[in-house]
Amino acid sequence: MSKVGFIVRIVFVCLAAISIPAMLMIDAVQARKYTDLKNQVIDLEEKQSELIEENKKLITDISLLSSADRIERLASEELGMRKAETDEIIRVEMKDTVK
């Protein structure tokens, strides 16, 4: 074997020996990134669930607050309003004037 062939072979073996730890380090970095992203996804899914539950509660609150019985009670008790009698109702007709 020639001296150049021997040197090429040693360089190749050294590069192979160096590349194995380098690949392992790259794999570790990628695994860490994956774990971080997975944790972020879990956190976001938990936040989403909390927001969905809060949204359901708010929708329920809106339904309760906008119920006809509640509005009628507030109008009569707090604002002193009452239902209009038939003879107190005035109908206004609007004609379409835009042409």
Please report the DSSP string for 57-90 in residue order: HHHHHHHHHT-HHHHHHHHHHTS---PPPGGG--
Instruction: Name the stretches of the chain with pLDDT < 70.
Output: 1, 99
| The pLDDT value given to residue 1 | 62
Can you say whether the dihedral through the CA atoms of 20, 22, 23, 25 is positive or negative? positive
Judged by DSSP in three states, 96 sits in: coil
Instruction: Please say whether the beta carbons of 57 and 63 come within 8 A.
Output: no
| The pLDDT value given to residue 99 | 62
Q: At 99, which helix (H) or strand (E)?
A: none
Residue with tokens 């972020």: 40
Can you say whether the dihedral through the CA atoms of 41, 29, 24, 13 is positive or negative? positive
pTM attached to this predicted model? 0.55
